[in-house]
Structure 1
Protein backbone atom coordinates (compact mmCIF):
# COMPACT_ATOMS: atom_id res chain seq x y z
CA UNK A 1 0.00 0.00 0.00
CA UNK A 2 1.41 3.39 -1.00
CA UNK A 3 0.21 5.66 1.77
CA UNK A 4 1.75 8.47 3.71
CA UNK A 5 1.34 9.69 7.25
CA UNK A 6 -1.51 12.02 6.26
CA UNK A 7 -3.51 9.06 4.92
CA UNK A 8 -3.15 7.32 8.29
CA UNK A 9 -4.08 10.48 10.20
CA UNK A 10 -7.15 10.94 8.01
CA UNK A 11 -8.14 7.30 8.59
CA UNK A 12 -7.80 7.71 12.36
CA UNK A 13 -9.67 10.99 12.35
CA UNK A 14 -12.56 9.71 10.24
CA UNK A 15 -12.90 6.49 12.24
CA UNK A 16 -12.05 7.49 15.79
CA UNK A 17 -11.59 11.16 16.50
CA UNK A 18 -14.37 12.95 14.65
CA UNK A 19 -17.20 11.54 16.80
CA UNK A 20 -17.26 11.29 20.59
CA UNK A 21 -16.74 7.73 21.81
CA UNK A 22 -17.65 6.15 25.13
CA UNK A 23 -14.19 4.68 25.42
CA UNK A 24 -11.35 5.63 23.12
CA UNK A 25 -9.13 2.74 22.05
CA UNK A 26 -5.55 2.73 23.28
CA UNK A 27 -2.59 3.29 20.99
CA UNK A 28 -1.71 -0.42 20.84
CA UNK A 29 -5.20 -1.33 19.63
CA UNK A 30 -5.11 1.42 17.02
CA UNK A 31 -1.65 0.37 15.82
CA UNK A 32 -2.83 -3.23 15.41
CA UNK A 33 -5.90 -2.13 13.46
CA UNK A 34 -3.85 0.14 11.20
CA UNK A 35 -1.38 -2.63 10.44
CA UNK A 36 -4.25 -5.04 9.71
CA UNK A 37 -5.76 -2.42 7.40
CA UNK A 38 -2.53 -2.53 5.38
CA UNK A 39 -0.68 0.56 6.56
CA UNK A 40 3.10 0.21 6.81
CA UNK A 41 4.55 0.01 10.31
CA UNK A 42 7.07 2.87 9.88
CA UNK A 43 4.29 5.21 8.71
CA UNK A 44 2.03 4.12 11.59
CA UNK A 45 4.81 5.02 14.04
CA UNK A 46 5.31 8.37 12.29
CA UNK A 47 1.57 9.09 12.51
CA UNK A 48 1.55 8.50 16.27
CA UNK A 49 4.65 10.66 16.65
CA UNK A 50 2.84 13.37 14.67
CA UNK A 51 -0.20 13.10 16.99
CA UNK A 52 2.04 13.29 20.06
CA UNK A 53 3.65 16.42 18.60
CA UNK A 54 0.20 17.93 18.06
CA UNK A 55 -0.83 17.23 21.66
CA UNK A 56 2.43 18.70 22.93
CA UNK A 57 2.12 21.81 20.76
CA UNK A 58 -1.52 22.32 21.80
CA UNK A 59 -0.63 22.17 25.49
CA UNK A 60 2.27 24.59 24.90
CA UNK A 61 -0.08 26.93 23.00
CA UNK A 62 -2.60 26.88 25.87
CA UNK A 63 0.16 27.62 28.40
CA UNK A 64 1.56 30.51 26.34
CA UNK A 65 -1.64 31.99 24.92
CA UNK A 66 -0.67 35.52 25.92
CA UNK A 67 2.86 35.30 24.49
CA UNK A 68 1.82 34.17 21.00
CA UNK A 69 1.54 36.27 17.85
CA UNK A 70 -1.05 39.01 17.81
CA UNK A 71 -3.77 39.61 15.23
CA UNK A 72 -1.70 42.54 13.94
CA UNK A 73 1.35 40.40 13.22
CA UNK A 74 2.34 39.65 9.64
CA UNK A 75 3.36 36.09 8.79
CA UNK A 76 6.28 35.68 6.42
CA UNK A 77 6.76 32.08 5.29
CA UNK A 78 10.28 30.67 5.53
CA UNK A 79 11.93 29.30 2.39
CA UNK A 80 11.23 25.72 3.55
CA UNK A 81 7.58 26.52 4.25
CA UNK A 82 7.17 28.29 0.90
CA UNK A 83 8.73 25.31 -0.85
CA UNK A 84 6.61 22.68 0.92
CA UNK A 85 3.25 24.50 1.02
CA UNK A 86 1.77 25.22 -2.39
CA UNK A 87 0.93 28.80 -3.24
CA UNK A 88 -2.78 27.91 -3.01
CA UNK A 89 -2.29 26.35 0.43
CA UNK A 90 -0.44 29.41 1.72
CA UNK A 91 -3.09 31.71 0.27
CA UNK A 92 -5.89 29.63 1.77
CA UNK A 93 -4.28 29.73 5.21
CA UNK A 94 -3.90 33.52 4.99
CA UNK A 95 -7.53 33.77 3.85
CA UNK A 96 -8.67 31.70 6.85
CA UNK A 97 -6.79 34.00 9.19
CA UNK A 98 -8.00 37.19 7.49
CA UNK A 99 -11.62 36.02 7.78
CA UNK A 100 -11.22 35.07 11.44
CA UNK A 101 -11.60 31.30 11.00
CA UNK A 102 -8.17 30.79 12.58
CA UNK A 103 -6.21 32.99 14.94
CA UNK A 104 -2.44 33.54 14.73
CA UNK A 105 -1.68 30.87 17.36
CA UNK A 106 -3.75 28.28 15.49
CA UNK A 107 -2.09 29.31 12.23
CA UNK A 108 1.33 28.65 13.74
CA UNK A 109 0.23 25.29 15.11
CA UNK A 110 -1.15 24.30 11.70
CA UNK A 111 2.08 25.34 9.96
CA UNK A 112 4.12 23.38 12.50
CA UNK A 113 2.04 20.23 11.96
CA UNK A 114 2.12 20.65 8.16
CA UNK A 115 5.90 20.90 8.21
CA UNK A 116 6.04 17.76 10.38
CA UNK A 117 4.34 15.70 7.66
CA UNK A 118 6.53 13.53 5.46
CA UNK A 119 4.95 14.93 2.28
CA UNK A 120 7.12 16.88 -0.11
CA UNK A 121 4.24 19.15 -1.13
CA UNK A 122 1.23 20.25 0.89
CA UNK A 123 -1.88 21.35 -1.01
CA UNK A 124 -5.14 22.91 0.22
CA UNK A 125 -6.74 19.50 0.80
CA UNK A 126 -3.93 18.38 3.12
CA UNK A 127 -4.00 21.77 4.83
CA UNK A 128 -7.75 21.43 5.38
CA UNK A 129 -7.39 18.00 7.00
CA UNK A 130 -4.56 19.12 9.27
CA UNK A 131 -6.54 22.22 10.22
CA UNK A 132 -9.53 20.03 11.07
CA UNK A 133 -7.36 17.85 13.31
CA UNK A 134 -5.87 20.89 15.04
CA UNK A 135 -9.26 22.53 15.59
CA UNK A 136 -10.86 19.31 16.84
CA UNK A 137 -9.26 19.57 20.28
CA UNK A 138 -8.88 23.33 20.48
CA UNK A 139 -11.16 24.91 23.09
CA UNK A 140 -13.16 27.84 21.76
CA UNK A 141 -12.68 26.79 18.13
CA UNK A 142 -15.95 24.87 17.71
CA UNK A 143 -17.34 27.28 15.10
CA UNK A 144 -14.17 27.14 13.03
CA UNK A 145 -14.13 23.36 13.32
CA UNK A 146 -17.68 23.05 11.98
CA UNK A 147 -16.91 25.46 9.12
CA UNK A 148 -13.81 23.51 8.04
CA UNK A 149 -15.56 20.16 8.49
CA UNK A 150 -18.46 21.29 6.29
CA UNK A 151 -16.02 22.57 3.67
CA UNK A 152 -14.08 19.30 3.56
CA UNK A 153 -17.09 17.01 3.40
CA UNK A 154 -18.92 19.24 0.91
CA UNK A 155 -15.85 19.04 -1.31
CA UNK A 156 -15.75 15.25 -0.92
CA UNK A 157 -19.43 15.03 -1.89
CA UNK A 158 -18.78 17.15 -4.97
CA UNK A 159 -20.77 20.14 -3.74
CA UNK A 160 -19.42 23.46 -4.88
CA UNK A 161 -20.47 26.73 -3.29
Structure 2
Protein backbone atom coordinates (compact mmCIF):
# COMPACT_ATOMS: atom_id res chain seq x y z
CA UNK A 1 0.00 0.00 0.00
CA UNK A 2 2.76 2.48 0.88
CA UNK A 3 4.43 2.05 -2.53
CA UNK A 4 1.13 3.15 -4.09
CA UNK A 5 0.90 6.16 -1.77
CA UNK A 6 4.45 7.22 -2.62
CA UNK A 7 3.61 6.92 -6.32
CA UNK A 8 0.50 9.09 -5.83
CA UNK A 9 2.50 11.69 -3.90
CA UNK A 10 5.30 11.81 -6.48
CA UNK A 11 2.99 11.96 -9.50
CA UNK A 12 0.26 14.18 -8.10
CA UNK A 13 2.28 16.30 -5.68
CA UNK A 14 -0.24 19.07 -6.18
CA UNK A 15 -3.24 17.46 -4.49
CA UNK A 16 -5.75 19.21 -6.74
CA UNK A 17 -4.11 17.53 -9.77
CA UNK A 18 -5.05 14.10 -8.43
CA UNK A 19 -7.97 12.49 -10.27
CA UNK A 20 -11.02 11.13 -8.48
CA UNK A 21 -10.41 7.82 -6.73
CA UNK A 22 -12.04 5.60 -9.38
CA UNK A 23 -9.99 7.15 -12.17
CA UNK A 24 -6.88 7.07 -9.98
CA UNK A 25 -7.44 3.35 -9.48
CA UNK A 26 -7.38 2.80 -13.25
CA UNK A 27 -4.19 4.85 -13.58
CA UNK A 28 -2.55 2.85 -10.79
CA UNK A 29 -3.54 -0.40 -12.50
CA UNK A 30 -1.99 0.89 -15.72
CA UNK A 31 1.17 1.76 -13.75
CA UNK A 32 1.48 -1.91 -12.77
CA UNK A 33 0.40 -2.02 -9.12
CA UNK A 34 -1.42 -5.08 -7.81
CA UNK A 35 -5.19 -4.85 -7.33
CA UNK A 36 -5.03 -5.54 -3.57
CA UNK A 37 -2.47 -2.78 -3.00
CA UNK A 38 -4.49 -0.34 -5.08
CA UNK A 39 -7.72 -1.16 -3.23
CA UNK A 40 -6.06 -0.73 0.18
CA UNK A 41 -4.49 2.58 -0.89
CA UNK A 42 -7.76 3.92 -2.32
CA UNK A 43 -9.65 3.07 0.87
CA UNK A 44 -6.89 4.73 2.90
CA UNK A 45 -6.93 7.83 0.63
CA UNK A 46 -10.71 8.06 0.92
CA UNK A 47 -10.33 8.15 4.71
CA UNK A 48 -7.63 10.81 4.36
CA UNK A 49 -9.89 12.96 2.18
CA UNK A 50 -12.74 12.64 4.67
CA UNK A 51 -10.49 13.53 7.61
CA UNK A 52 -8.98 16.55 5.83
CA UNK A 53 -12.42 17.85 4.84
CA UNK A 54 -13.66 17.30 8.39
CA UNK A 55 -11.14 19.79 9.78
CA UNK A 56 -12.45 22.53 7.54
CA UNK A 57 -15.74 22.79 9.43
CA UNK A 58 -16.68 26.27 10.59
CA UNK A 59 -19.65 28.23 11.86
CA UNK A 60 -21.91 30.02 9.39
CA UNK A 61 -21.40 33.79 8.99
CA UNK A 62 -23.82 34.52 11.83
CA UNK A 63 -21.99 33.64 15.02
CA UNK A 64 -25.20 33.86 17.01
CA UNK A 65 -27.00 31.19 14.98
CA UNK A 66 -28.36 28.15 16.77
CA UNK A 67 -26.36 24.95 16.15
CA UNK A 68 -29.63 22.99 16.11
CA UNK A 69 -30.72 24.76 12.91
CA UNK A 70 -30.40 22.77 9.67
CA UNK A 71 -27.10 23.51 7.96
CA UNK A 72 -25.44 24.82 11.13
CA UNK A 73 -21.98 23.36 11.72
CA UNK A 74 -19.83 23.04 14.80
CA UNK A 75 -16.68 25.09 15.23
CA UNK A 76 -13.42 23.23 15.71
CA UNK A 77 -11.69 24.92 18.60
CA UNK A 78 -7.93 25.40 18.40
CA UNK A 79 -5.88 23.43 20.87
CA UNK A 80 -4.92 25.31 24.01
CA UNK A 81 -1.17 25.77 24.45
CA UNK A 82 -1.53 24.14 27.88
CA UNK A 83 -3.31 21.04 26.57
CA UNK A 84 -1.74 17.60 26.51
CA UNK A 85 -2.41 14.81 24.00
CA UNK A 86 -2.77 11.49 25.78
CA UNK A 87 -2.41 8.44 23.54
CA UNK A 88 -4.65 5.44 24.13
CA UNK A 89 -3.16 2.02 24.73
CA UNK A 90 -4.28 0.97 21.24
CA UNK A 91 -2.52 4.00 19.71
CA UNK A 92 0.64 3.33 21.71
CA UNK A 93 0.66 -0.31 20.65
CA UNK A 94 -0.12 0.26 16.96
CA UNK A 95 2.19 3.24 16.46
CA UNK A 96 5.05 2.16 18.70
CA UNK A 97 7.48 4.29 20.63
CA UNK A 98 9.59 5.32 17.62
CA UNK A 99 6.63 6.63 15.60
CA UNK A 100 5.05 8.38 18.59
CA UNK A 101 8.41 9.98 19.36
CA UNK A 102 8.64 11.25 15.79
CA UNK A 103 5.12 12.72 15.95
CA UNK A 104 6.07 14.45 19.22
CA UNK A 105 9.26 15.77 17.60
CA UNK A 106 7.33 17.24 14.66
CA UNK A 107 4.75 18.76 16.96
CA UNK A 108 7.36 20.26 19.33
CA UNK A 109 9.20 21.68 16.30
CA UNK A 110 6.05 23.56 15.35
CA UNK A 111 5.68 21.90 11.95
CA UNK A 112 2.77 19.59 12.77
CA UNK A 113 -0.23 21.54 14.07
CA UNK A 114 -2.69 19.69 16.31
CA UNK A 115 -5.39 19.23 13.65
CA UNK A 116 -2.85 17.65 11.29
CA UNK A 117 -1.41 15.53 14.12
CA UNK A 118 -4.85 14.07 14.74
CA UNK A 119 -5.18 13.14 11.07
CA UNK A 120 -1.70 11.59 11.11
CA UNK A 121 -2.70 9.49 14.13
CA UNK A 122 -6.03 8.53 12.53
CA UNK A 123 -4.42 7.48 9.24
CA UNK A 124 -1.59 5.66 11.04
CA UNK A 125 -4.19 3.70 12.98
CA UNK A 126 -5.79 2.76 9.64
CA UNK A 127 -2.44 1.62 8.22
CA UNK A 128 -1.13 -1.95 8.30
CA UNK A 129 1.77 -2.91 10.51
CA UNK A 130 2.03 -3.49 14.20
CA UNK A 131 3.74 -1.28 15.06
CA UNK A 132 3.72 1.13 12.11
CA UNK A 133 7.31 1.61 10.95
CA UNK A 134 8.91 5.03 11.10
CA UNK A 135 9.34 5.05 7.31
CA UNK A 136 5.63 4.32 6.85
CA UNK A 137 4.73 7.06 9.33
CA UNK A 138 6.84 9.55 7.39
CA UNK A 139 4.85 8.68 4.26
CA UNK A 140 1.64 9.22 6.22
CA UNK A 141 2.84 12.66 7.35
CA UNK A 142 3.71 13.57 3.75
CA UNK A 143 0.28 12.44 2.60
CA UNK A 144 -1.43 14.53 5.29
CA UNK A 145 0.47 17.61 4.13
CA UNK A 146 -0.48 16.67 0.56
CA UNK A 147 -4.18 16.40 1.47
CA UNK A 148 -4.12 20.00 2.71
CA UNK A 149 -2.35 21.18 -0.44
CA UNK A 150 0.70 22.16 1.59
CA UNK A 151 4.31 21.27 1.08
CA UNK A 152 6.43 21.02 4.20
CA UNK A 153 9.37 23.39 4.34
CA UNK A 154 12.71 22.14 3.06
CA UNK A 155 14.10 21.01 6.42
CA UNK A 156 10.95 19.07 7.31
CA UNK A 157 10.84 17.54 3.85
CA UNK A 158 14.48 16.50 4.24
CA UNK A 159 13.68 14.87 7.60
CA UNK A 160 10.68 13.05 6.12
CA UNK A 161 12.60 11.80 3.09
CA UNK A 162 15.94 11.13 4.81
CA UNK A 163 17.13 7.55 5.10
CA UNK A 164 18.13 7.09 8.73
CA UNK A 165 19.76 3.68 8.15
CA UNK A 166 23.23 5.10 7.47
CA UNK A 167 23.15 7.77 10.19
CA UNK A 168 25.68 7.60 12.99
CA UNK A 169 24.86 8.96 16.41
CA UNK A 170 27.41 11.40 17.78
Per the alignment, residue 42 of structure 1 pairs with 36
- Note the 1:40-79 alignment, pairs <5 A: 40-63=34-57, 66-79=76-89
* TM-score, with length taken from structure 1: 0.77
Per the alignment, residue 71 of structure 2 pairs with none
Q: Post-superposition, which runs of at least 4 consecutive aligned residues in structure 1 deviate over 4 A?
A: 23-26, 158-161
Q: For this pair of structures, how many residues does the alignment match?
A: 153
> Which is bigger in relative contact order (C-alpha 8 A, separation at least 6)?
2
Unaligned runs of 5+ in 2: 59-74
2:129 to 119, 143, 148: 119
Unaligned runs of 5+ in 1: none
Per the alignment, residue 134 of structure 1 pairs with 144
SS of corresponding position for 2:45 = helix
1:12 to 1, 8, 13: 8
SS of corresponding position for 2:56 = helix
SS of corresponding position for 1:62 = coil
Per the alignment, residue 152 of structure 1 pairs with 160
Q: 1 or 2, which has the higher helix percentage?
A: 1
SS of corresponding position for 2:104 = helix
Work out whether residues 15 and 147 of structure 2, in 8 Å CA contact, stay in contact via their aligned partners in 1: no
Work out whether residues 6 and 126 of structure 1, in 8 Å CA contact, stay in contact via their aligned partners in 2: yes
SS of corresponding position for 1:66 = coil
Per the alignment, residue 95 of structure 1 pairs with 105
Deviation digits for residues 69-106 of structure 1 (CA, Å, limit 9, x no counterpart):
33322111111111111211101111111121111111
Q: Deviation at 1:13?
A: 1.2
